[in-house]
Chain A
Amino acid sequence: MGFSLVEELPKLLWMVIGVAAFLAVIGALLFLVDAGARKSRVEWWQATLFLAPALILLFLGLVYPVFRTTLLSFMDGQGGNWVGLDNYVRMFTQPELLTVLRNTLLWVLFGPVLATAVGLLYALLVDRRRFESVAKSLVFMPMAISFVGASIIWKFIYAYRPAEAEQIGLLNQIIVWFGGEPRLWLLETPLNTLLLIVVLIWVQAGFAMVVLSAAIKAIPDDIIEAARIDGTGLWSHFWNITLPSVWPTLTVVLITISVQTLKVFDIVRTMTGGQYETSVIANEMYAQAFRYNELGMGSALAVFLFVLVIPLVIVQMRTNRRLREEQR
């Protein structure tokens, strides 16, 4: 196989065309805006020209699909007949789909909290140490790996071979060294979902660590100085000084990772394909809509996911606004 430039040429060309099209649009806009004359009308035109592409794309890419998906979620598989709330009723009664919801709940409960906690702990531990930058980049590195790549790495870590054979999985090898029996990690429900969450933590902890580390460094020195003169212990310093100071940042990190977690699809798909009772909403949505031709059920799951994400996004926007106002 290998990479042949000639064969890939059309794809590259499409990429170039895409970029060129983007530049052409922007160029044309600038051209028109530049070519305009007189102020007040011009400003109105300018605003329209700059906002229109974004608004049109937003409508086509977000508003319209949300509307259509919501309609589809009240229809049956082929998207032809109205079935009312059937899909939603099934979602909360069918044992298999309840398992999916349970798993998503597990993900949301454990993923963001643990990833943030690990990130915070690490940021505190390496803060103002000698090798801080090296230590930080070690934890930050998994961020550069896609979820699919990370999943493949961890699939090897959890790999199983019978006791009499050479272990190829790190986890089972460690257990064998300690005299235990190798186990089929990915088959043990609900432990397997937690093992999948570990992959998310591994990738996201670096992000949490970097952001929180910056927040810790931003705590004003005089506060720390004052605390030290008052003689606070480590623990109370953390509870009374560090945590309140980084709290806004902490919520931002938590929510960002929570949204990521709700949408999680690639880890589950790569590691278990949603088998062994590890499926989550995003995974089930894809399977229902595109593999089983149950477009209605898939849409209902999508709508439910959308509803779950909305409050997080609202909180996120509020926090951001508050932060901006504080900075002024």
Chain B
Amino acid sequence: MPMFPNPRTTIATALSLVLLTGGCAYLSGEGGTAGADPDSPECEPYAQWQDIGGTVSVYASIRDEEAERMERSWQMFAECTGIDIQYEGSGEFEAQVQVKVDGGNAPDIAFFPQPGLLERFADSGDLVPAPEGVQQLAEEGWSQDWLDYATIDGELYATPLGANFKSFVWYSPTFFSDNGYEVPQTWDELIALSDTIAADGTKPWCAGLESGDATGWPATDWIENVILRENGPEIYDQWVNHEIPFNDPRIADAFGRADEILRNPDYVNGGFGNVQSIAITSFQEAGLPILDGDCGMYLMGSFYAAQWPEGTEVSETGDVYAFNLPPIDPDQGTPVMGGGEFVGAFADRPEVVAVREYLATAEYANNRAAEGAWFSAHQGLDLETLEVPTDRLGAEILRDPDTVFRFDGSDLMPAEVGAGTFWRGMVNWINGEETDAILDYIENSWSS
């Protein structure tokens, strides 16, 4: 037995301890943002948040190019105030945010794409309600319609961030004018146009439901848009809040109307094959045959503008453009459907409040819009900065005081329906199941 430990062991132990302390010190240290001069004119807009400092972690579902643009849009704020914003985007956001919160590892701020998810965390007491300053900015910036989605039990918990418009029908203006087609103004004209395009030998519609974990959601947009136009916002709200059952005859009618297009073998699936191919075509690819003249129209949100290949001209006379899905019942007008993210927070440190305030300003909305391919419903957003014409069109419709806006219904339903059985049901519906069976299946899965 040696009295002294083996020298090699000692060295290894000592070395690893040195590494351990050194590494930890580096990670906790002031890494990150290079400070700008706080007194410079560029930093003028951020004067009120100076001398706070600290680090704020932000977690959301936004990734890749879109995330880079977003990070650039708050870079100046971070440099001037010295607040280091650590952004993490994940395709698994909906599931992982729950895991993080359960594990006591909640982010400071999260962008919730579904008000239903926001409500879940508000109910569980994890979210911090909007502080005074944030509330004030929210009331200045958004219409009551929007704030209602982030208000739970009379308390505002979040502010809207980006918006998207989900009643767009994408089409090719050049293809339309070459063949003498007109943009339809009513549902009947839409069906007549579809028949004409089909008679001319092109499938009038294309669609795709495949979206990884979220497969099925594009078809829910169809149903929501039809219900909104056929029955109006009141019935829509009742349906979303489960005040009328999911298998109500009016909902069945809406399915029947969507059926005329989505499950009509003469109408779909332009460029991809038969009706069933809709179920396995990814929504990102589904609209691309429009460019080749293999498909006439594609119902998809405004964010689809980012999916067109490099060099595609998005404009009223260009390669692709969009029109608002026409009304069905003239008495209901043309209510529109859309979605967006909401900024909620799990912490109330001063630097977190500062970031929340900044994200609720018109300043931020315009900074983000300047980076391109984005718009929001913020009243202070300068529409001239929106480069993509469809974004401008969407933002104008949302801004219009006569517009009746409704949030994407599946995002408001409880997750087991809105992100579960509704999606799954739509996939099985496209795959040939009877409408009544699908409606009963979704209704039975709704617990409350």
The reply to whether A20 and B23 contact each other, CB–CB distance below 8 Å, is: yes
**Complex: A17 Cα to B16 Cα, angstroms:** 8
Give the residue name and chain of the A residue nearest to B97 (CB).
A290
Residue A13 is within 8 A (CB to CB) of chain B in the complex: yes
- Answer whether A293 and B20 are a contact pair too, CB < 8 Å, given A13-B26, A27-B9, A162-B273: no
The reply to whether B274 and A34 contact each other, CB–CB distance below 8 Å, is: no
Interface size class of B (residues with CB under 8 A): 35 or more
Q: What does the 1/0 interface line of B91-130 toward A look like (CB < 8 Å)?
A: 0001110110000000000000000000010001000000
The reply to whether B6 and A34 contact each other, CB–CB distance below 8 Å, is: yes
The reply to whether B20 and A24 contact each other, CB–CB distance below 8 Å, is: yes
- Answer whether A293 and B13 are a contact pair too, CB < 8 Å, given A17-B19, A276-B279: no
Residue B216 is within 8 A (CB to CB) of chain A in the complex: yes
**Complex: A35 Cα to B5 Cα, angstroms:** 6
What chain B residues lie within 8 Å of A1 (beta carbons)? 64
Contact of A24 among B1, B17, B31, B277 (CB under 8 A): B17
Residue A238 is within 8 A (CB to CB) of chain B in the complex: no
Separation in Å of the B18 CB from the closest CB of chain A? 9
The reply to whether B273 and A160 contact each other, CB–CB distance below 8 Å, is: yes
A interface, by DSSP: helix, strand, loop or mixed?
Answer: helix
B interface, by DSSP: helix, strand, loop or mixed?
Answer: helix
Contact of B5 among A34, A163, A277 (CB under 8 A): A34
The reply to whether A160 and B94 contact each other, CB–CB distance below 8 Å, is: no
The reply to whether B19 and A20 contact each other, CB–CB distance below 8 Å, is: yes
What chain A residues lie within 8 Å of B415 (beta carbons)? 291-293
Residue B34 is within 8 A (CB to CB) of chain A in the complex: no
**Complex: A269 Cα to B428 Cα, angstroms:** 17
The reply to whether A20 and B16 contact each other, CB–CB distance below 8 Å, is: yes
The reply to whether A17 and B20 contact each other, CB–CB distance below 8 Å, is: yes
Give the residue name and chain of the B residue nearest to A37 (CB).
B1
Within 8 A of B (CB), among A144-203: 160-163, 165, 184, 186-187
Residue A3 is within 8 A (CB to CB) of chain B in the complex: no
The reply to whether A187 and B431 contact each other, CB–CB distance below 8 Å, is: yes
What chain B residues lie within 8 Å of A293 (beta carbons)? 98, 120, 414-416
**Complex: A163 Cα to B274 Cα, angstroms:** 10
The reply to whether B19 and A16 contact each other, CB–CB distance below 8 Å, is: yes
The reply to whether B20 and A160 contact each other, CB–CB distance below 8 Å, is: no
- Answer whether A20 and B20 are a contact pair too, CB < 8 Å, given A160-B273, A275-B424: yes
What chain B residues lie within 8 Å of A2 (beta carbons)? none
Separation in Å of the A187 CB from the closest CB of chain B? 6
Give the residue name and chain of the A residue nearest to B117 (CB).
A293
- Answer whether A14 and B27 are a contact pair too, CB < 8 Å, given A275-B215, A275-B216: yes
Q: A17-B20, A20-B23 are in contact. List 11 more A-B contacts (CB 8 A).
A: A17-B27, A24-B20, A31-B5, A35-B5, A273-B213, A276-B279, A287-B420, A290-B99, A291-B415, A293-B414, A293-B416
CB<8 Å pairs between A and B, sample of 15 = A13-B23, A13-B27, A20-B20, A24-B17, A24-B20, A27-B12, A31-B10, A37-B1, A77-B447, A160-B280, A161-B272, A275-B427, A276-B279, A277-B428, A290-B94
Listed in ascending order, the chain A residues whose CB lies under 8 Å from chain B are 1, 10, 13-14, 16-17, 20-21, 23-24, 27-28, 30-31, 34-35, 37, 77-78, 96, 160-163, 165, 184, 186-187, 269, 273, 275-277, 286-288, 290-294
The 8 closest A-B pairs by CB, nearest first: A27-B13, A162-B273, A292-B416, A290-B95, A23-B16, A20-B19, A34-B5, A20-B16
